[in-house]
Chains A and B, each alone.
Chain A
Amino acid sequence: MKRLIASFQPLFAAGILLVVLLLPILGLTPNVIRILFITFVWITASLAWNLLGGVAGQVSFGFAVFYGLGAYAAALMINAGVNPALSFVGSAAVAALASFLIGIPTFRLRGPYFAIATIGVSEAVRVVMNNISAVGGAGGLRVTERGIFHQTEHYYSGLAIAVLAVCVSLLIERSKFGLALRAIRQDEDAAADIGINPFRCKLWIHAIAAALTGVAGGVFADYAAYIHPQGVFAFSTSVTILLMPVIGGIGTIWGAVLGAAVVTIVEEQLVAVFPQVHLLLYGLLLMLIVLLEPDGLVGLLRRMLRRMHVDPSSRGPDEALWGRGRLEGREL
């Protein structure tokens, strides 16, 4: 039965992909397309964060830096007349470069100390960006529009980068590099004792995650047509990127995807229905999930499946680690 479900997984993924590919043709309202587009952007960032935070166990509160730099890099390049697709590659390069500059000093710190350092770096970058008048300073940056606005084009760009992020995540999960990252998450010293260079591995996965996040920022900037430091570089951007995989199920690919979708849709709906108290409700929902289901939504689904006697042994090795009551200090 387990094997049956496993063999259905790619089929299931292909089915979802087909549906989202065809959705714009069905004549959805622009607002729905917009929400789906934002979901794709967040899925990309969520999967990227999950590579560093979930797989390699390095919890960063600084992903807004990569998102923002990617957004600004793309905006500046598009304004200079560069083809948007090429400018997204530029976003990835700029973000990856920044990840090395940040990672080289901060990865000398471990666990909570690393997390705190990333907050500091992120805030510093935001303040600096607020004051660089060449890129608009606190006033932000307008992205030159290229002819008529085609929302579906942006929709497909978003979909493409989300699929890219899933593919990168799957590749890493199945590679020996992925195995090394899991080893580092569980015990960095023991990983070094079998020949893994934890510092170098962390730098590389940080760069890959930053590149993906940068692309997400670039695609968003191209869509939004206006970006400003208080938005893309905001601390709340870092927190959102971190919360999506936590809500969905940290360390799992489908958890990061599901978390991003749920966060985007819930946030949009809450803003629309309860404009005054949406942040309060959002926080409450978050607390409920973290308290009642530490494995996230994927953990919840797994438990429901188990209860239906469908899939008793689906608990993968990684879920056993992140699961309730097993989160040992050393791993975080």
Chain B
Amino acid sequence: MAALKDVSFSVPERHIFGIIGPNGAGKSTLFGVISGAIRASQGRVRFRGSDVTRLRSDALVHFGIARTHHIVRPFRAMTVLENVLVAVHYGRQSAKADAKAQAISALERVQLAPKARMLASALSLGEQKRLEVARALATNPDLLLLDEVCGGLSGAETRAMLDLFQQIRASGTTILYVEHDMKAVMSVCDRIAVLDFGRKLAEGTPAEIQNDPAVIDAYLGSGMLGTNSIA
């Protein structure tokens, strides 16, 4: 059985590209294939002209591709700073020399710098999700793969997270964003691909997706988008 079939799309540089789909659509499998966690039996993942299909996740990091996890996986017995520092040390080399300064600047980007000396296990879920993003950012990626980072966050936390995505994109990093939360995806993405039963159903701008009859029929249903564009 194939979890994914004939799914093909390309992510333009400096875009926030969203992938949505109902449970079991294959979002997580697709994410795993791109991030090196799952071996694809067929197909290719290309990054800047290079074939990265068979690379393990640590090699991908050195190619400039970093990921976060759907369920947060901080190093709980390390401080917040150490979590990010180890990512600076082992991630892709950046021009800046001082590792600690880089780690602190990654924490500042997610507003966790004041908690740098706390143990990661002492953070709230929202903070741990931000730490997850900071740790991925600290590897100095060109492409950031985000797996449902807004799940379980409050409204205010989600808005702050989406603002952060805009800032990350503005700094030159491309984002591939897999998400269940429809409103979040619609509000922040430049382009969206919709998956259903392992196939790509549609791809386009948020407005195009919202008005795509196939998407509405197969998956979204009327009113699900939370906008007025669908009666």
- Residues of A at the B interface (CB closer than 8 Å) are 176, 179-180, 182-183, 186-187, 189-198, 317-318, 320-321
Contact = CB atoms under 8 A, between A and B. Distances in A.
A190 B74 CA distance: 8
A195 B91 contact: yes
A183 B92 CA distance: 17
Given A183-B86, A189-B37, A317-B82, A195 B77 contact: no
B149 interface: no
13 contacts: A176-B89, A179-B78, A183-B78, A183-B86, A186-B77, A186-B78, A189-B37, A193-B58, A193-B67, A195-B87, A197-B56, A317-B77, A320-B77
A195 B136 contact: no
Give the one of B37, B57, B77, B119 with max A CB within 10 A.
B77
Contacts of B69: 190, 193
A194 B73 contact: no
B24 to A, nearest CB: 23
Contact of A321 (B76, B85, B87, B91): B76
B86 A193 contact: no
Contact of A317 (B35, B66, B78, B138): B78
Given A317-B78, A317-B79, A189 B90 contact: no
Given A179-B85, A186-B77, A189-B37, A195 B67 contact: no
Contacts of B195: none
A258 B167 CA distance: 51
Interface in B63-107: 66-67, 69, 73-79, 82, 85-87, 89-92, 99
Contacts of B90: 176, 180, 194-196
Given A182-B75, A189-B73, A317-B77, A196 B86 contact: yes
B79 A194 contact: no
A180 B87 CA distance: 9
Given A194-B135, A194-B138, A195-B91, A186 B58 contact: no
Contacts of A191: 75, 86
B42 to A, nearest CB: 24
A186 B76 contact: yes
Contact of B58 (A176, A192, A317, A321): A192
B86 A179 contact: yes
Contacts of B56: 192, 197
Given A195-B58, A195-B62, A190 B73 contact: yes
Given A193-B61, A195-B58, A320 B121 contact: yes
6 closest residue pairs by CB, A with B: A321-B77, A195-B61, A194-B87, A195-B90, A190-B73, A176-B89
B53 interface: no
Given A193-B67, A194-B90, A179 B58 contact: no
B74 to A, nearest CB: 8
Nearest to B37: A189
Nearest to A331: B77
A318 B120 CA distance: 12
A190 B128 CA distance: 14
A76 to B, nearest CB: 40
Give the one of B79, B85, B86, B92 with max A CB within 10 A.
B86
